[in-house]
Amino acid sequence: MRISVLNGPNLNLLGDREPEVYGRVSLAEVEAATRERARALGVECAWTQTNHEGELVEAIQGLRQSTDGALINAAAFTHTSLAVRDAVLAVRVPFVEVHLSNIFAREPERRRSLLADVAVGVVAGFGADSYRLGLEGLVAYLASRRGR
Ligand code: DQA
């Protein structure tokens, strides 16, 4: 099984950026922990981060050829980008939306996700652990679909 993890803008600054909201773990550390869990689950894991909306759209378009499922933290584009929503609708690759913070407990403009209703599920609020929980949920979902 192959999965891809796509990270949107400013997530490259994790660890430094608003640590009271996002914690002190860097994106490289989140990546290492996610890869380790993926390895234990026997899953191949590709990892991307971009600050650019068009690059995120292209990465999503590329999922069709390369992956069984995805974890997507589209960061601020979650709340704003119809282009990102259109891309996930176009490729029809199952994905779990992940956020470090609980977006539903934050400012009103962050409580709306343009992706949640087309995701397999949403994991938000567990800090870096959201990625591991999202990975486990996604892998279980994909495995159960294969078994059908
Ligand atoms: C985030 C939440 C978004 O609202 C924010 O713009 C981010 C990070 C999170 O992981 O908690 O950049 O996606």
Domain ranges of the chain: 2-146
Catalytic positions, please?
A: 22, 99
Q: Among candidates 3, 64, 58, 67, which has minimal Cα distance to 35? A: 3
| CA pair distance 33, 37, nearest whole angstrom | 6
Give the residue carrying structure tokens 């584009």.
Answer: 77
Fold assignment, 2-146: Rossmann fold (3.40.50)
CA distance readout (Å), 133 to 58, 76, 84, 109, 118: 26, 21, 23, 25, 18
What lines the ligand 1 site, CB under 6 Å? 10, 73, 75-76, 78, 99-101, 103, 110
What amino acid occupies position 98?
V
Q: How far is the CA of 126 from the centre of ligand 1 (A)?
A: 12
Per-residue confidence of the chain (148 residues) as pLDDT tens digits? 999 999 999 999 999 999 999 999 999 999 999 999 999 999 999 999 999 999 999 999 999 988 999 999 999 999 999 999 999 999 999 999 999 999 999 999 999 999 999 999 999 999 999 999 999 999 999 999 987 6
Q: Which of 6, 20, 77, 101 to mutate to test the pocket of ligand 1 (most atoms within 8 A of CB)?
A: 101
Ligand 1 geometric centre to CA of 15 (Å): 13
Residue nearest ligand 1's atom 13 by CA: 75
Whole-prediction pTM value? 0.97
Q: Whose CA is nearest to atom 3 of ligand 1?
A: 75
Residues near 33 by beta carbon (within 8 Å), at least 6 away in sequence: 128, 131, 132
pLDDT at 117: 98
Pocket mutation for ligand 1, best pick of 26, 56, 77, 100 (most atoms within 8 Å of C-beta):
100
